[in-house]
Chains A and B, each alone.
Chain A
């Protein structure tokens, strides 16, 4: 059993590998063939509608035959690559109508819907004057060649058409079923160099089959027209039929067209068929315009529509053909069916415009067998029998089905979303074969292009609303979380600010009050000595004023203006003089590294000043120092403030919990600096603060990087 399982696994793996390799090869072929300037020799797949782009027309591929049922003036179906240069296209072509042309397009670009709306070359058969034509379209038609076909171009007969483009030579041959070959060729100076190929018909429906594309060489051209170069392209200036040279051909074609329109004047209006005796077959003749050809033939006159079952379905019919039908009438409740009917085309070019109805109107049965335009909301889509697509739609209180042939398509042509509002053009039928007795009526669509999305589904479906509520809740939750975090951060900032203010007051007002106290003590000591007394009173007054200023500044800006005005070193010097108050202490200032103390960011300078102020105060008041060195070191990566005194010092660890030293530590921390206090009894104290120059560091690295990149 295990052995079998392993074999199966191996087989599956091999199969997957083969499929993967085939897919890769196919994709590579598609990519390369679309980029190369020469097409690979291949037979175009008419059934793969995704390979083709339609510009007008009603295109349908059935059993390897591409059919355009429209008699528009210039319906095109394009394929291939815009880069293709020298190549030929061959196909069997059949005209359905008596008064138009059909053939092949080469080297086309800029295709649009419209008459001759492309840049490219066209060669085809025209039964208007029984000729093979060759010319160029540049949003306007230039006909270079019009060569008579002997004996003539017959509608509903196959011709083999080969159209070749090599350099600026264009050659076409048309071969009839009897083997007669008609050739037209031209050399077009300033020719279009490359482009897609396509199928085109003008004023008639047409069929194409066996469409083959091959690279073309000079040898291929010679095989078609011999070694002589083709004549230079000269556009015929005169309108068709204006010259006497083609008079006989022109009149003959007109005569054929005229006779083709002969009709029975005793035909019965379709609406009157209901008035005939019910329950028995009656042979009648009717006139009407074809509104649907497949799966059932429907015609319509000014008043009503009719389904027709043909005796011989070989005659190709196209939508817009006015036909005369004779057959046995089988009356129905709402509309009749003409059975065993013979159908003759009177003329084409007369498409019926759809009657716009609501679902309620269609559900009345009054539009049975009529070509209608109707709107509805798509409720469901499914694959029906014979590759058909079945859509279920609703409108108001009615629901209905829409059926369209999906032949030639491997999947749904577009993503039709449920709840989309669709507009449909098709035949309204109440036959249970189509409605399954589930809906009051159904609409048979002539082609997939008869579905138009009027409005995409609304965004507020149940699923979307639920999703929206979930997203909203998540957003509210996120906002709540962010708000909570912000509140906490705010609270923390308040606490930090309070602490900072406490340090600030300690460093400013407390220091000043200490100075005032010191002066008052001196006054007390100096009572009796008027001169000294006055001096101490002056100093105490100054201290009070300074304290007042400091308090104001602390409140308003929380930083020292002294630093801002004098610079860090001078401010510290002044601070030392003020605290020493003329005491026997020598202060030395050192600015090492040549930097500008003013370049230190204000926040950093302020913190350094406060730390320095505390260190100076400690040196003067507690250490009894006689000499103090204040150094500011400008390094490339840091600033360093060093305050050294020769005071009595203190043992390591002592006073470390002192509020002043703790304050220095806090201040250092607030600017990301490292504080190093070294002292020992009798050996003085050094306070060193090192502030990394973060911004400059980053900036210098960036400059270095930028230099390297350049």
Chain B
């Protein structure tokens, strides 16, 4: 199996992603795995692609289009991710304190799911942990840094920060370093991008998507559809909490392995 991999050169460039999708549809690839940059903007292009009967597996976030004969989903369990972050927070704060959420993005269903799960879990299991600030997600880590920096300079008393995306995690960490509060204010991030500070405690933990497994299942689904096998409409892959203690474990090394397509 030959895999053509490509992505827009600018993050969140939905138009380029749509153009890439239309290109691979026109080139008659036998299957498409797509990680959408946005939920709403990709719906129509995906519907057009489905009309050509190419098997499509959407990974990462749901588009709101029901699974069909040639559309299925392999999703990260965002509810479990939010729960993991909340329970980790409850553990390191001993069930009490003030937390701010940064990186909220209503344009991605996965983001709203993880936020809702995180806050629901806090409310039900750790009622003495209060969410005292919420900040929207930005286009880059640098802008996330500015957002968190302003939050920290506003005098708000915080024990912890939860960053819902990779850029928000990086930006929040930069802001903590800049204000010399890294390790003092606990930071829990999402989506493995910034790894080194986990080892020195500047970043407490990251809720990591099992991208290795998501990629493997997506390709298996394409393969199954091409061979006429029944494939499930939706597969949910459990995320993993990446901490200083387990970062070198075999389980986590598999998650952090890059070239998942080699030897498939």
Contacts and interface: CB of A to CB of B under 8 A. Distances in A.
Contact of B253 (A74, A238, A247): A238
Contacts of B247: 242
Interface in B177-202: 177-178, 192, 194-197, 199-200
A627 interface: no
A346 B142 contact: yes
A351 to B, nearest CB: 7
A130 interface: no
Given A113-B9, A237-B258, A349 B197 contact: no
A348 B142 contact: yes
B174 A258 contact: yes
A303 to B, nearest CB: 16
B261 to A, nearest CB: 7
A114 B9 contact: yes
A239 interface: yes
Contact of B197 (A254, A261, A346): A254
Contacts of B91: none
A47 interface: no
B22 interface: no
Contacts of B199: 244, 247
Given A140-B261, A251-B200, A350-B143, A239 B195 contact: yes
Contact of B6 (A114, A238, A257): A114
Interface string A115-127: 1110000000000
Contacts of A237: 257-259
B200 A239 contact: no
Contacts of A246: 196
A322 B194 contact: no
Contacts of A73: 7, 9-11
Nearest to B252: A242
A241 interface: yes
Interface in B49-90: none
Given A242-B247, A254-B196, A258-B174, A236 B6 contact: no
A114 B20 contact: yes
Nearest to B9: A72
A212 B211 CA distance: 41
B142 A238 contact: no
A4 B182 CA distance: 87
Nearest to B142: A347
A371 to B, nearest CB: 15
Given A251-B197, A251-B200, A350 B142 contact: yes
Nearest to B176: A258
A114 B139 contact: no
A20 interface: no
A247 B9 CA distance: 27
A14 interface: no
- Which of B178, B196, B200 has the most C-beta atoms of chain A within 10 angstroms of its own C-beta? B196
B196 A75 contact: no
Nearest to B7: A115
A602 interface: no
A236 B196 contact: no
Interface in B1-51: 3-11, 16, 20
B10 A72 contact: yes
B151 interface: no
Interface residues of A, number: 43
B256 A239 contact: yes
B248 interface: yes
A434 interface: no
B142 A258 contact: no
Interface string A207-237: 0000000000000000000000000000111
Interface string A333-374: 000000000000011111100000000000000000000000
B153 interface: yes
B146 interface: yes
A513 interface: no
B243 interface: no
Nearest to A99: B141
A26 interface: no
Contact of B142 (A56, A72, A322): A322
Contact of B192 (A114, A239, A250, A262): A239
B9 A261 contact: no
B140 interface: yes
Interface in A55-112: 56, 72-75, 112
Nearest to A117: B6
Contacts of A244: 199, 248
A565 interface: no
A142 B259 contact: yes
Contacts of A347: 140-142, 145
Given A261-B145, A349-B141, A139 B6 contact: yes
A262 B177 CA distance: 11
A236 B153 contact: no
Interface in A590-614: none
- Which of A75, A116, A244, A349 has the most C-beta atoms of chain B within 10 angstroms of its own C-beta? A349
A241 B177 contact: no
Contacts of A142: 259
Contact of A239 (B143, B174, B258): B258
Nearest to B182: A258
Contacts of B146: 261, 263
Nearest to A262: B178
Given A74-B9, A347-B142, A250 B257 contact: no
A29 B86 CA distance: 68
A463 interface: no
B175 to A, nearest CB: 8
B256 A114 contact: no
- Which of B10, B150, B194, B253 has the most C-beta atoms of chain A within 10 angstroms of its own C-beta? B10
A259 interface: yes
Contacts of A265: 150, 153
Interface in A480-516: none
A117 B150 CA distance: 38
Contacts of B258: 235-239
Contacts of B16: 113
Given A140-B5, A258-B177, A235 B139 contact: no
Contact of B195 (A116, A140, A241, A322): A241
Interface in B99-146: 139-143, 145-146
A210 to B, nearest CB: 26
Contacts of B200: 247, 251
Nearest to A73: B9
B262 to A, nearest CB: 8
A261 B178 contact: yes
Nearest to B140: A349
A139 B5 contact: yes
Nearest to B19: A113
Contacts of B174: 254, 257-258, 261
A436 to B, nearest CB: 35
A249 to B, nearest CB: 9
Nearest to B8: A114
A254 B141 CA distance: 12
9 contacts: A113-B16, A114-B7, A114-B9, A235-B258, A235-B262, A239-B258, A242-B253, A244-B199, A261-B146
Pick the 7 closest A-B CB pairs, nearest first. A347-B142, A72-B9, A250-B196, A114-B6, A241-B195, A258-B174, A258-B177
Given A261-B145, A322-B143, 18 more contacts: A73-B7, A73-B9, A114-B6, A115-B7, A139-B3, A139-B6, A140-B261, A235-B258, A239-B192, A239-B195, A244-B248, A254-B173, A258-B174, A261-B146, A261-B178, A263-B146, A347-B142, A350-B139
